Amino acid sequence: MQGPKAYIEQNKDRFLNELMDLLKIPSISADSAFSHDVLHMAETVESALKEAGCTQTEICETEGYPIVYGERTIDPSLPTVLVYGHYDVQPPDPLNLWTSPPFEPVIKKTPLHPGGAIYARGACDDKGQMYMHVKALEYMVKNNKLPCNVKFMIEGEEEVGSNSLVTFVKEHKEKLANDIILISDTGMIARDVPSITTGLRGLSYVEVEVTGPNRDLHSGLYGGAVANPINILAKMIASLHDGNNRITIPGFYDKVQELSKEEREAMAKAPFDLKAYQDEIGIESVYGEKGYTTNERNSVRPTLDVNGIWGGYTGEGAKTVIPSKAHAKISMRLVPHQDWHEITELFSSHFRSIAPKGVTVKVTPHHGGQGYVTPIDFAGYKAAEKAYEKTFGKIPIPQRSGGSIPIVALFEQELKSKTILMGFGLDSDAIHSPNEHFGVENYLKGIETIPYFYQYFTEMSK
Amino acid sequence: MQGPKAYIEQNKDRFLNELMDLLKIPSISADSAFSHDVLHMAETVESALKEAGCTQTEICETEGYPIVYGERTIDPSLPTVLVYGHYDVQPPDPLNLWTSPPFEPVIKKTPLHPGGAIYARGACDDKGQMYMHVKALEYMVKNNKLPCNVKFMIEGEEEVGSNSLVTFVKEHKEKLANDIILISDTGMIARDVPSITTGLRGLSYVEVEVTGPNRDLHSGLYGGAVANPINILAKMIASLHDGNNRITIPGFYDKVQELSKEEREAMAKAPFDLKAYQDEIGIESVYGEKGYTTNERNSVRPTLDVNGIWGGYTGEGAKTVIPSKAHAKISMRLVPHQDWHEITELFSSHFRSIAPKGVTVKVTPHHGGQGYVTPIDFAGYKAAEKAYEKTFGKIPIPQRSGGSIPIVALFEQELKSKTILMGFGLDSDAIHSPNEHFGVENYLKGIETIPYFYQYFTEMSK
């Protein structure tokens, strides 16, 4: 019997090539033009689960994209681990900023990834991290090291709000029954600084439309006399933050859980180099809510960001027009205990209320999810901590992430089980950006660490 | 010998068909993809001038699109009319709002145009109005009614700033020598209310770019800690107007010529129905600078309008991204005696100065031009007034327009001659908008009125 390290060494090239093949499929859930690829991706994931050792697999149809289910039950009296991941990816644009095509994966060496990193949309978020679990299962099954039961639930709508998953989870509580949920869709502090994400932000994503005149107007003939939807939209967006960069929506902060002095001190201890942070993304200065540090701003404080804006003439050259409409996509990151339905409602009514006469405003809620905080004093967390210690030789640091995995809160509510967020990506992996990548070492380290989690969790659950 | 009315009646169909053919050429100067069509349009205009009776024509090459020149000199001792117009058109987008394809002209009846209107990009601005002069020349030549000399200067870059024309005019003062300049690129108050435009606004058109991080960022991992270029751009744009909708750029109003009490009273007398104005463009309320009427706001007051804005994810669905860049196209309409070079400089330095730390700002001046006011007490205006009275049975109302024809000020400066703006379009003709059109009656009325201007101007110049 060999340990995971040796098995990974022997199969390294195959593990990489299999992931590269998955990354060639443009499974962009946000753009219906790619629906065929998203469906093809689902089938590919199902066969991967079969080959890895799932004795039961299924492509579960939903109103949206299907959920791929896999299971291997060795003894009902043993604990069950439920692995969640997603096979859909973010749109790759702006395409011109990619140094290699987003769906033609290549391995390149970088200062942060001397062992090389796989460049492709979805390399880290989440195909690479999801596939670590598939390969970890393969190792455990092939070597008789699977100590408990395992279930997989891999969805195809995470990047667009997981709408179908919500229904699926509510309707299949029996099928999904488990003792712990394992997700790798977050990051770690640094290649040699393992960490476990203990908190996630919630999300409310809306689209707004400001309509002025019933048609585009000549800015010379009408300029100055008619409300220009773009100027108005800019005014309305600007008014959503005050001089201290606090969000001005009435009631927005009412339920925000403020950190204790101790918690803030603990956070301040996490290794963080502001200069390096600024240099890595090429900014001269950070920017945010007065009275909070950068690490607090991007993890335990709520935000409001415009993710996209468009209106009027955006082509080459000049057009002197007052457009009929202007649009923006706006997302708010929420913290415990803000409720995303409530925040979406607060935003909508406030945004409508600040529209001046002369324009009409439409707010379309897109999707959202609740934030989440994991305890660090139960078997699931302890097992993960020990697994990292085994493979990294260091105790992982618990950290709050600014990202959102909306369904984590749903899992706890519907399935009554906790989630462990074992992330192996780095902030610098450029997920959601051009040139997304995932370190080869991180990928293999994940495959190596996961089986130990199964082992320790089963032992600790006895 | 017959008058213009009868000649037009006999040739009506041909006059319409010839214009329709010109409208089929997509001569969009702002988009280099159409450069071939713009050049083809220039050749078409030259042959039209030849056929109409110009004894000398020429396609004058420039650094940009060529200027079509035509001339018919009958006696150097007689006055010379210089006709200016442009053969380029605005981009037609948004295409989906056109009820018929922009470059497939069709005639449709409308409440305001019971005699039918030609629907096509450029129908009114400026192919239709420019071609009225060509057909008026044809009438005068064919019927020995040309009382003076005539020159045509038809350019192809009016919609993108007339850059080449500026050089051309400065270098060909002799060739372009004239006693009066005639332009039909403006509108009249209503189908049965003729008016002559006595004032134009100047223009300064700039493009701005706000850059934050060196790549698009995940709004969860970085949101709240990094300046979002879209939010910042919105804030900067919003700050360009104060609570009274006055422009906040320091020095912007310093040289604005305020109207006298008498001038404002005269303007207030022009027929104007606010309800009809609002209904026609589908707004519940007008919007603009405090203390001024709608007619003042859109003609004698300067403005600042965003003509286009874009940044981040604007596709289908949702993408949680903090973009690296956000852009806007901004134009300012200027009034006498604001200098567009100075205003462009004031804007640029102010806009750069209000950028917060964490972003960099680039301002690219696009083009511009000075405003203009025509006197109403000289032969040119009197002749135009009499010509309208002859064909409409009413004395035309002098009115200031909010639009800009930057080169008018240039003509006066370089060629030392005044310009008469004989416009036959209506504000409702949707120039620069989807479904631009030009009334058949307006078109024919223009062809009928122009020859009388030549006759009266020649008489009054004796």
Question: For B350-403, how does the pLDDT look when each residue is reduced to its tens digit (9 = 90+)?
Answer: 999 999 999 999 999 998 888 888 888 899 999 999 999 999 999 998 888 888
Residue A218 phi, psi dihedral angles, 5° rounding: -70, 125
Q: Based on the domain organization, do A112 and A123 belong to the same domain?
A: yes
Contacts of A273 in chain B (CB under 8 A): none
CB contacts of B213 in chain A (<8 Å) are 281-283
| Average pLDDT score over chain A | 94
Percent residues over pLDDT 90 in chain B? 82
Instruction: Report CB contact under 8 Å: B31, A326.
Output: no
Identify whether B275 is part of a domain: no
Helix (H) or strand (E) holding B347: helix B340-353
List the one residue out of A98, A117, A93, A104 whose CA is nearest residue A28: A93
Question: Å from B337 to nearest chain A CA?
Answer: 17
pTM, two decimal places? 0.80
Residue B291 falls within a domain, yes or no? no
pLDDT: is A426 or B317 the higher one?
A: A426
A30 found inside a domain = yes
Residues in a beta bridge with A18? none
Q: Which of B369, B392, B419 is the last residue of a domain?
A: B369
Q: Averaged over A338-345, what is the pLDDT?
A: 96
The pLDDT of residue A117 is above 90: yes
Asked, for residue A278, whether it belongs to a domain, the answer is no
The shortest CB-CB distance from B307 to any of A313, A367, A427 is to A313
> Does the pLDDT of residue B171 top 90, yes or no?
yes
pLDDT score of A405: 82
- B1 pLDDT band, cuts 50/70/90, is very low
Structure tokens that stand for A135 in this block: 């390969």
A1 pLDDT band (50/70/90 cuts)?
A: very low
- For residue A240, being part of any structural domain is answered with yes
Please tell me which of the candidates B93, B281, B286 has its beta carbon nearest to residue A217. Answer: B281
**CATH code of the domain covering residue A249:** 3.30.70.360
What range does the domain containing B319 cover? 202-256+302-369
Q: Does the beta-carbon distance from A298 to B93 stay under 8 Å?
A: no
Same domain (yes/no): A221, A72:
no
> Taking 80 as the threshold, does the pLDDT of residue B406 lie above it?
no
In this predicted model, what pLDDT tens digit does every residue of A198-224 receive, in sequence order? 988 999 999 999 999 999 998 888 999
Cα(A67)–Cα(B46) distance, rounded to whole angstroms?
Answer: 66
Which residues of B fall within a CB distance of 8 Å from A430? 215
* pLDDT number for residue A407: 85
What was the pLDDT predicted at A460?
A: 96
CA distance B313 to A160: 13
A175 & A57 share domain: yes
What single-letter DSSP state applies at residue A211?
E
Dihedral angle of Cα A10, A15, A16, A22, to the nearest 10 degrees: 170
Any bridge partners for residue A69, and if so which?
A: A58, A153
The span from the CA of A393 to the CA of A386, in Å, is: 10
Average pLDDT, chain B: 95
Note whether residue A94 is domain-resident.
yes
Does one domain contain both A216 and A171? Answer: no
Please say which residue of A334, A351, A369 terminates a domain.
A369
Write the CATH number for A401. 3.40.630.10
A333 and A445 belong to one structural domain: no
Q: What share of chain B is helix, strand, coil (3-state, %, to 5)?
A: 35, 25, 40
Comparing CB atoms, the residue among B161, B297, B312 nearest residue A308 is: B312
Q: What is the pLDDT of residue B367?
A: 86
pLDDT band at B225 (very low <50, low <70, confident <90, very high): very high
Strand ranges across the sheet with B106-108: B106-108, B117-119, B437-439
Taking CB atoms and an 8 Å limit, are B286 and A225 in contact across chains? yes
Residues in chain B within 8 Å Cβ distance of A225: 286-288, 294-295, 297-298, 402
Considering the domain architecture, whether residues A229 and A336 belong to the same structural domain is answered as yes
Residues of chain B in contact with residue A323, where contact means CB-CB under 8 angstroms, are: 307-308
Lowest mean per-residue pLDDT among A206-220, A263-277, B10-24 = A263-277
Q: With respect to residue B71, please indicate whether it lies within any of the assigned structural domains.
A: yes
At B237-255, the pLDDT tens digits run 999 999 999 999 999 999 9
Task: Pick B214's closest partner by Cβ from A223, A282, A358.
Answer: A282
Res B453: pLDDT? 98
Which of A342, A369, A396 terminates a domain? The answer is A369
Domain co-membership, B13 together with B107: yes
Label residue B2 by pLDDT band (50, 70, 90).
Answer: low
Q: How large is the average pLDDT for residues A229-234?
A: 98
* Nearest chain B residue (CA) to A203: B220
Domain shared by A209 and A195, yes or no: no
- Looking at the structure, do residues B180 and B233 belong to the same domain, yes or no? no
pLDDT in tens, A397-430: 888 888 888 788 889 999 999 999 999 999 889 9
Which chain B residues are Cβ-neighbours of A239 within 8 angstroms? 238
pLDDT of res. A2: 65
Do A132 and A217 belong together in one domain? no
**Quick one: A434 and A311 in the same domain?**
no
Average pLDDT over residues A104-130: 96
Q: Cβ–Cβ of A221/B97 closer than 8 Å?
A: no
Q: Is the pLDDT of residue B141 over 80?
A: yes
CA neighbours closer than 13 Å in the CB half-sphere of residue B61: 1
| Residue B98 to chain A, least CA–CA distance (Å) | 10
Instruction: Tell me how many domains chain A contains.
Output: 2
- Closest partner residue to A226 (CB to CB) among B286, B301, B304 is B286
In a domain, residue A69? The reply is yes
C-alpha distances (whole Å) from B289 to each of A286, B245, B382 are: 36, 5, 34
CB atoms within 10 A of CB B250: 11
The residue-averaged pLDDT of A15-27 equals 98
> What pLDDT, in 10s, does the model give residues B362-372?
999 998 888 88
Residue A319 has a pLDDT of 86
* Residue A219 to chain B, least CA–CA distance (Å): 7
